[in-house]
Amino acid sequence: MFRERSDDRFWYMRRPLQFFADIGVLSVAFFIAYLPAVNIQLGELYLETAIRQLPFVILVQIASLFVVGAYSLIWRYVSIEDISLFLKAAAISCVILIGFRLILSFTTFTLWQIPVSVILIDTMMGFGGLLGLRILRRFFYELNDKNRPTLGRKRARQMPTLIVGAGRMGSTLAKEMSGRRYAELEIRGFVDDDFAKKGGSVNRIKVLGSTKDLPKLVSDLNIEQVVIAIDQAQGKEIRRIMDVCAAIPVKARIVPSLNELAHGHVSVSRIRDVQIEDLLGREPVELDDENLYDFLSGKVVMVTGAGGSIGSELVRQIVNYSPSKLLLVERAEFFLFNVERELSSYRTEIAIFPLIADICDEPRMRDIFEQFKPEIIFHAAAHKHVPLMELNCSEAVKNNIFATRQIASLAGEFGASDFVMISTDKAVNPTSIMGASKRIAEIVVQELNDKYETNFTAVRFGNVLGSAGSVVPIFREQIQKGEPITVTHKDMTRYFMTIPEASQLVLQAGALGNGGEIFILDMGQPVKILDLAEDMIRLSGLTPYEDIDIQFTGIRDGEKLFEELEITGEDLLKTRHPKIFIGKIATYSDEQVVEILSEFRQAVDAKDASEIRRLFNKFLPEATISIGSKAAGADN
């Protein structure tokens, strides 16, 4: 991964020199192992014997290093994790040499019978010396790198900084910064609420106190910023530290989240401003990778709505599990172009097919199924905007119900193994056209599970932070324009997940499904939209109600004050994953589904929005869709 510096002279000689240095260290260790002063089992130095045995011993040891991949390491970047390679090489060579010794003990080749004590001492000293040689190389490299002239490049001003968190994340940050010539942080100490760490040091940087000591430490040390580097930090903890920093005041920043690091796009040292996702974040999702590899590896996988917020993240996650082909189905050309271009930069061997298609277009979708024979389908395409669907309920029915039924039927007809539909918490006791249409979609997908060998499942979750048309981008745009933030009601709450978390759990639920389930994701605790708006204003460096006002506009058609994740009476069952549950809901019969689809078809063909609303209430006893809505006649 690392490229050699262009000013690093004699690079072409480095590997041979390193190789001969290793031979030198191993040779010295072998002769020392024969010294009577070191090996108490030997009464004298067998110099002639050692010289004859040396080539064979060196050959075995060097071969062991090659076998474990020790020569793929660049010396200047050797780390604690690399010790395991040298331990493996030492074990391999030791076993071979002792085995050779035992075999020769039954022969007359006494000259080649290396004493076991010599082998053990030589292994410890030789491989210890190799590791020490590399550590010494790294030490001198970092020392030289810090003191090397800047060659005209101005050294950036270092900002006096305190790190909150003296754990693994904080230690990694300090280590990365200490090894960089142009580090922008001058780390003056750690702060950690673990009392046992106070007074200790991490990477020779002292732990000065707890977060309660921040005001005094910031003042005494002239600190200009505080960097939060807490392992698996919870939203409440980050908010508390932010409040302390705001009261001092001092700027607070944060290291990238584990999800960002997992994507490989950033390093720990790429600190950034705290975002709303950090304040709402929970512990990272732990995936059963082995199960997901079994589910996705080598398969033809289709994602509908692949250019959308959830669809595009599903695609990013799926490529990690090596499908044979990945079909990106999207009707918006620009979004499809963006996600395909991003994937092409990954340089993956996976065959990726960007397919412009409308899921309502049955001939086009049939052509795709005939050509590619998808084995796993993640159906993320949908109309999801609640107020817009109140005005366009016929389109909600056509896209969310009829198109879903059509895609699911094609999956069964062409023998797909799994069909996973993305649903929503708004399908629970629906009050909106969008929520009701997704609930009917769940019903028609479940009904297909008994008709085909395909496993049909649905995954239900709440709002996704930062998704297109969601509240966070809207609030962010209002703040940037200096406009008041509009909140519908001061008590309105919603469940939130990050896009990566939701997508990872959708994949995991798909792998767990046996068919017929509606999976319900653990959304944590609901969040007040008013609190969300106030947090976003503060994160922008402004004061709520002073710099940016908050106005209440009233609940819109189809909206609830709070969302639910399960219907009253649903039986929630645990799965192997702690964040995924199964809602075993009574299914509708074939005759009922046929009646539902027939009556909705007639209402849509007649463009009768009031009849569509009435039908939702008729077929969903738990629904409360307003018949007399202002929007009821909008798409008549």
Question: Which residues are part of the catalytic machinery?
Answer: 426
The candidate with the shortest Cα–Cα distance to 185, out of 197, 176, 177, 196, is 177
User: DSSP class of residue 321?
Assistant: G
Rg (CA), the chain: 32
Tokens at 308, concatenated? 């959308």
User: DSSP class of residue 284?
Assistant: P
The β-bridge relationship of strands 580-584 and 518-521 is antiparallel
Contact 242, 267 (CB under 8 A): no
Contact 540, 412 (CB under 8 A): no
The candidate with the shortest Cα–Cα distance to 325, out of 346, 354, 298, 365, is 298
Tokens at 133, concatenated? 């040689």
| Sequence-separated (6 or more) residues with CB below 8 Å from residue 146 | 181
Tokens at 513, concatenated? 């499904």
Residue 529: which region, alpha, beta or left (left: phi > 0; alpha: psi -120 to 50)? alpha
What's phi and psi for 34, nearest 5 deg? -90, -5
SS3 content of the chain, % helix, strand, coil (to 5): 50, 15, 35
d(CA 163, CA 180): 17
Contact 44, 36 (CB under 8 A): yes
Tokens at 23, concatenated? 């031979």
SS3 118: helix
Tokens at 441, concatenated? 């979609």
d(CA 543, CA 95): 68
Tokens at 88, concatenated? 């493996």
Residues facing residue 303 across a β-bridge: 328, 378
Tokens at 125, concatenated? 């000293």
d(CA 47, CA 52): 9
Contact 464, 496 (CB under 8 A): yes
The β-bridge relationship of strands 272-273 and 251-254 is antiparallel
